[in-house]
Amino acid sequence: MTSLWIATLGASLVCYLLKLAGFLIPSSILSKPRLVRINELIPVVLLSSLVSIQTFTSESELLIDHRMGGLIVAFIALKFKAPFPIMMLAAAFTSAIIYRLGI
């Protein structure tokens, strides 16, 4: 089995078990405010680090390239409350133009 299949099926299993666990364990653990705070921050830190890694790195090297142009446009689009698909299209379009122009 390739590592891509292992990642696909392994992550699917783990995520399903996490969903199921919520229906099987008592909901009283939600009363711990520290756990709630940390849990709300986990998506924030992971998504934010994924943004920076996917924009500024390539195979453990730091670099600034066409993707940054796309990200800046995505940022502006979100600032102006653009819908999600429009924001993504604008980012992809900008990045593709910069890449094709070879800047």
Partner 1 sequence: MRQNSGVSFDRRAVLRDSLSVSLPVGTYGAAFGAASVAAGFSVAQTCALSLLLFSGASQFAVVGVMAAGGSAISAIATGGLLGIRNGLYALRMSPILKFSGISKFLGAQITIDESTGVALSQESRGEPAMRYGFISTGIGVFIFWNLFTLIGAVSASSIGDPSMWGLDAAVPAAFLGLLWPRLESNRKRFAALFSALLAIALTPYLPAGLPIIATVSIALIFGWRSR
Residue of the chain from 42, 101, 102, 103 that contacts partner 1 (CB under 8 A): 42
Residues 84-103 that bind partner 1 (CB under 8 A): 84-85, 87-88, 91-97, 99-100
Work out whether 51 is an interface residue with partner 1 (CB under 8 A): yes
The interface mask with partner 1, positions 60-79, x = CB under 8 A, is xxx---xx-xxx--xx--x-
23, 17 contact by CB (below 8 A) = no
Work out whether 32 is an interface residue with partner 1 (CB under 8 A): no
Token pair, residue 28, equals 């009283």
73, 91 contact by CB (below 8 A) = yes
Query: Strand 61-62 and strand 57-58: pairing?
Result: antiparallel
